[in-house]
Structure 1
Amino acid sequence: MNTKFKTKLLSSLMLIGLFSGTCFSQDNVIHNLTGNSDRFISSDVVVGNRSSQATADLPSDLLYELNATVYVKNNTLSKVKGKAHPLVLKFKDAQSFNVVSKRSALFNTVEMIKIDLASENDLRTPFNMAALRGFNNLKYVYLKCEFPATEAQIRTFIQNADPKLIIYYNTYQRS
């Protein structure tokens, strides 16, 4: 009986440890840079342990593509997902930024631009916000970096940002 109890206790502790480790490893810090390219005010939001404050600050419906989305890859609008007017424009690569320098009716309702950055090499092609055409409702830019990126690198990458624009970025490494 005593051995059976110890085995169950040990198994339970191992499971708790395993799930606790998984929960903590999934914490995902999204950094918030506010202001223009010369002066950002930085704050962090932990997404893994969502609080009502963190959820209220993040535009979750836009961040997690719950609305109509325009996808850009290889210098073309690759697809539009959703039936309503798109609220998100997502760059799947860093070589397609010139697509937004041409007016499109699809851009009029976009509130968030999301950019996937696969490596530090992608930071060498700056995203010039002054080149945007037709983004009348743009409120957010979200950068998803698959490598460790510093705040200084993000500031250099985003150029000519409107001070009213909210810029988020997230860094992670694929395992």
Structure 2
Amino acid sequence: MNSKFNTKFLSMIILIGLFSSTSFSQENVILKLSDREQTLAHGSTVSQRSTTFTSEIPYDLLYDLKSTVYIKNNGILNIEGVGAPVVLKFLDTESFNFVSTRNSLYNKIELITINLNSENDLRNPFDVDAIRGFSHLKYIYLKCEFPISENQIRSFLQNADPEITFFYSSYKRS
């Protein structure tokens, strides 16, 4: 009788643990870059920016000239800058599989930027868990040429570590 009680008690503890971990799981932070924030980034010095903006948004990676790898058509289009790249930019959504194998160029990447030209680009989701060699990745930035919702972003960016922060901006090309 005592062993049946212990088995049931242990099973109940395991179930509670499973349910509590799923109900309290973290989601990635998603921040929208407003026109004001983009203007601040391009038109002011760091000392003029508020600490809220600079602590949450990595302006140095988004807008300063950092060493960058450009990916397009399932290959490296270009590498610009000096030193190990800290930014990787996808110029299309067809090249995500290209980063599924390790490459020493990705060792220091902190920011991935993905250009989304239309809602059709959302049909090819980015599986963050499938990329290899990005041990320093902290941010993913979506540059959208159309209005996008938080739900669309969460569907597009799949299996991301909760420590990664998402940024996005929506604009219409003129």
Task: Report the TM-score when normalising by structure 1.
Answer: 0.74
1:170 Cα deviation after fit = 0.9
Matches within 5 A, 1:23-38: none
8 Å CA contact 1:45–1:54 kept in 2: the answer is: no
Q: Distance between the aligned counterparts of 1:115 and 1:170, measured in 2?
A: 11
Which range moved further: 148-157 or 43-52?
Answer: 43-52
CA displacement at 1:56 relative to structure 2: 3.1
Q: Residue in 2 aligned with 1:140?
A: 139
Structure with a larger share of its residues in strand: 1
- Higher share of residues assigned helix: 2
Partner of 1:111: 110
AA matched with 1:75:
N
Query: Are residues 69 and 150 of structure 1, via their aligned partners in 2, closer, same or farther at CA, if it must alter by over 3 Å?
Result: same
1:93 alignment counterpart: 92
**Aligned-CA RMSD value:** 1.9
C-alpha distance in 2 between matches for 1:39 and 1:140? 14
Gaps of 5+ in 1: 1-36
Identity of aligned residues (%): 50
Q: 1:172 offset after TM fit, Å?
A: 1.0
- Which structure 2 residues correspond to residues 32-47 of structure 1 after superposition, within 5 A? 39-46=27-34, 47=37
Distance 1:65 1:79, change over 3 A: farther
CA distance in 2, matches of 1:98, 1:65: 27
Alignment of 1:1-175 (within 5 A): 39-46=27-34, 47-48=37-38, 50=40, 51-52=49-50, 53-175=52-174
Paired amino acid for 1:92: L
Which runs of 5 or more residues in structure 2 are unaligned?
Answer: 1-24, 41-48
> 2-side partners of 1:163 and 1:87: how far apart?
20
Aligned partners of 1:119, 1:133: CA distance in 2, in Å? 27
Alignment TM-score, normalising by the size of structure 2: 0.74
Q: Aligned pair count? A: 139
Q: Please name the residue that 2:45 is paired with.
A: none
